[in-house]
Amino acid sequence: MPEQYRTLQGFRDILPDEQPYWRYFEKIAAEVAETYGYRRIETPTLEETAVFRKTSGEGTDVVEHEMYSFDDRADKEGRRQNIALRPEGTASVVRAYLEHGMFKLPQPVKLYYMSVPIFRHDKPQAGRYREHHQFGCEVLGEGDPAIDAEMIGLLHQVYTRSGLQRLRVHINSIGDQNCRPQYIQKLKEYYRPLLEDCCEDCQVRFVKNPLRLLDCKMPQDQPKIAAAPRITDNLCEPCREHFEAVQRFLEMYQVPYIVDKLIVRGLDYYTRTVFEVISEDNKLALNGGGRYDGLAEILGGQPTPGIGFGLGVERVIQEMKRRGIEPPTEEPTRAFVVYFGKEPKFKDAAIQVCAQLRHAGIKAEMSYGNRSNKAQMKQANNSGAVRAIIIGEDELAGGFVSVKNLQAEGMDTASKQAQVKREELIDYLCQHG
Ligand code: HAM
């Protein structure tokens, strides 16, 4: 027996039955983003590894454990580049902003990406895949807190229009290069005497990424987190003012939010405002985002403020299904063409009619494989099509087709079936549906 292949662990097929959810969500998200003045961008799936390593941060899970990076094939000179499958969307967008001189455009530049594949060698489990897709928005070139609130407002509008009401946005500020180092010092001083009693991961976090100590989910560490100093009590004046302004503007956007002092985010590039929306069901984040005012500089640009979010489309669709939200149904097949005759001329005519319908934008199907008349009519009925277009001896001789209404139960045969000239078929279907 030849081997049966399956998708790789953590990867999944998005089958036709699920596609309406994706198209529905994508349409809403794109419409809302464009209403707020965002323009679509697409960046390559592969980038130089350094783009992500430098920005997301060496000590982060994403870079250290999860990034798919490898040496490319050698070029003509025998050099090999280390490249990576995109483990997140922001660094590529900022790279593109710098590479294409978008800083010369009127600022801010507002960009969005739709369902881009993101790769992380995560431990596969419900809602956690090795390839997932993100809808994301990024704004570059503006540090005004009004932008932070506007972006969270946009996100909230995407959720409510997708039917996901009553989601609460968790926001926090993690300060900037002025106040965060002092806070981290304070946090380490607090943790140092407790370290022996902390989980193994926290011992590593203490050295590599102390802010992430607050993100630990182990029960034994929760009391330590609860009593830890909070960054919001240690912000410098400009960061404090920025955070207060974000909250004031959020009220204007009528976004329900809570200040969640434990949000720290898993990537190193964040400054000031950070935010997440968390599913009440499985406690997984539906989206994550925040300000990254130092990122452009890390990639060789001028100091450029930036802010953005990434939303996990799989997780949002899962949440829609959990709440019983149905996407609009797909357009049904309008016409199913059948041919009653074994000679090739019958099938040829069916192909021509089918092509005629499709060229006019009418969703049409036909029977293949020279089945019996009865089997073809059964197929037409099962297809969900509104009408069967029948081509037999009389139809071919007379240059017409018989159009049968498949959804007219109880009607007499004469009103169920009409003879329509081939050249008038499109007009007839447009008039009669
Ligand atoms: P992130 O929080 O790492 O942020 O990912 C954003 C969202 O992607 C998460 O909230 C979650 O919904 C989804 N997600 C992440 N990992 C997985 C996974 N393994 N399986 C399924 N869904 C997942 C970022 O990636 C940042 N680039 C967001 C951002 C944009 N910040 C500023 N601009």
Judge if 263 and 384 occupy the same domain: no
Instruction: Give the pLDDT band (50/70/90) at residue 347.
Output: very high
Judge if 421 and 389 occupy the same domain: yes
Residue 236 Cα, ligand 1 centroid: separation in angstroms?
28
Confidence check: pLDDT of 321 > 90 = yes
Judge if 93 and 163 occupy the same domain: yes
Judge if 149 and 296 occupy the same domain: yes
Task: Report the residue count for the chain.
Answer: 433
**Protein residue whose Cα sits closest to atom 9 of ligand 1:** 287
Closest listed residue to residue 201, CA positions, set 184, 188, 214: 214
**Protein residue whose Cα sits closest to atom 26 of ligand 1:** 310
Which percentage of the chain shows pLDDT scores above 70?
99
The enclosing domain of 392 has a CATH number of 3.40.50.800
Which residues form ligand 1's pocket by a CB distance below 6 Å?
A: 88-90, 120, 122, 127-129, 132, 134, 136, 138, 266, 285-290, 308-310, 312, 314-315
Confidence check: pLDDT of 378 > 70 = yes
Judge if 263 and 363 occupy the same domain: no
263 found inside a domain: yes
199 found inside a domain: no
Residue 198 Cα, ligand 1 centroid: separation in angstroms?
27
Mean pLDDT of the region 44-58 = 94
The pLDDT, as a whole number, for residue 269 is 92
Domain boundary among 289, 322, 355: 322
Mean pLDDT of the region 116-123 = 96
Q: What is the pLDDT of residues 154-180, one digit of tens each?
A: 999 999 999 999 898 999 999 999 999
The pLDDT, as a whole number, for residue 166 is 87
Residue 312 Cα, ligand 1 centroid: separation in angstroms?
6
Domain boundary among 271, 292, 322: 322
Residue 288 Cα, ligand 1 centroid: separation in angstroms?
6
Mean pLDDT of the region 64-72 = 94
Q: What range does the domain containing 370 cover? A: 335-432
Cβ within 8 Å of residue 284, ≥6 positions away: 127, 128, 278, 315
Q: What is the pLDDT of residues 390-415, one digit of tens each?
A: 999 999 999 999 999 998 776 666 66
Confidence check: pLDDT of 379 > 80 = yes
Closest listed residue to residue 342, CA positions, set 365, 376, 371: 371
Residue 182 Cα, ligand 1 centroid: separation in angstroms?
28
Say how many domains are in the chain: 2
The pLDDT, as a whole number, for residue 53 is 94
The pLDDT, as a whole number, for residue 412 is 64
CA distance 326 to 1: 41
62 in Cβ contact with 120 (< 8 Å): yes
The pLDDT, as a whole number, for residue 411 is 65
**Protein residue whose Cα sits closest to atom 2 of ligand 1:** 288
Ligand 1 nearest atom to the CA of residue 122, by list position = 19
213 found inside a domain: no
Domain boundary among 322, 349, 377: 322
Judge if 390 and 251 occupy the same domain: no
- Rounded to 5 degrees, what are φ and ψ at 387? -135, 150
Ligand 1 nearest atom to the CA of residue 89, by list position = 27
**Protein residue whose Cα sits closest to atom 14 of ligand 1:** 312
- Rounded to 5 degrees, what are φ and ψ at 389? -105, 115
221 found inside a domain: no
Partners of 336 in the β-ladder: 365, 388
- Mean pLDDT value across the chain: 95
15-24, 43-52, 405-414: least confidently modelled range: 405-414
Residue 309 Cα, ligand 1 centroid: separation in angstroms?
8
Q: What is the pLDDT of residues 255-287, one digit of tens each?
A: 999 999 999 888 889 999 999 999 887 788 999
Judge if 50 and 101 occupy the same domain: yes
Judge if 136 and 281 occupy the same domain: yes
The enclosing domain of 172 has a CATH number of 3.30.930.10
208 found inside a domain: no
Judge if 346 and 312 occupy the same domain: no
288 in Cβ contact with 310 (< 8 Å): yes
Instruction: Give the pLDDT band (50/70/90) at residue 58.
Output: confident
The pLDDT, as a whole number, for residue 361 is 96
Three-class SS of the chain: CCCCCCCCCCCCCCCHHHHHHHHHHHHHHHHHHHHCCCEECCCCCEEEHHHHHHHHCCCCHHHHHHCCEEECCCCCCCCCCEEEECCCCHHHHHHHHHHCCHHHCCCCEEEEEEEEEEECCCCCECCECCEEEEEEEEEECCCCHHHHHHHHHHHHHHHHHCCCCCCCEEEEECCCCCCHHHHHHHHHHHHHHHHHHCCHHHHHHHHHCHHHHHHCCCHHHHHHHHHCCCHHHHCCHHHHHHHHHHHHHHHHCCCCEEECCCCCCCCCCCEEEEEEEECCCCCCEEEEEEECCCHHHHCCCCCCCEEEEEEEHHHHHHHHHHCCCCCCCCCCCCEEEEECCCCHHHHHHHHHHHHHHHHCCCCEEECCCCCCHHHHHHHHHHCCCCEEEEECHHHHHHCEEEEEECCCCCCCHHHHEEEEEHHHHHHHHHHHC
Residue 325 Cα, ligand 1 centroid: separation in angstroms?
23
CA distance 47 to 40: 19
387-391: strand order across its sheet: 364-366, 335-339, 387-391, 400-405, 417-421
Judge if 272 and 397 occupy the same domain: no
Looking only at the bridges linking them, the beta strands covering 417-421 and 400-405 are antiparallel
Q: What is the pLDDT of residues 207-218, one digit of tens each?
A: 988 998 998 989
Mean pLDDT of the region 30-46 = 98
Mean pLDDT of the region 112-125 = 96
The pLDDT, as a whole number, for residue 415 is 63
Of 64, 67, 118, the residue with max ligand 1 atoms within 8 A of its CB, to mutate for a pocket test, comes to 118
The pLDDT, as a whole number, for residue 414 is 60
196 found inside a domain: no
**Protein residue whose Cα sits closest to atom 13 of ligand 1:** 312
Judge if 295 and 371 occupy the same domain: no
Ligand 1 nearest atom to the CA of residue 308, by list position = 33
The pLDDT, as a whole number, for residue 413 is 64
Closest listed residue to residue 46, CA positions, set 92, 101, 114, 111: 92
Q: What is the pLDDT of residues 360-371, one digit of tens each?
A: 999 999 999 989
Using alpha carbons, list the distances in angstroms from residue 103 to 271, 294, 301, 303: 20, 15, 9, 11
Judge if 111 and 55 occupy the same domain: yes
Residue 86 Cα, ligand 1 centroid: separation in angstroms?
12
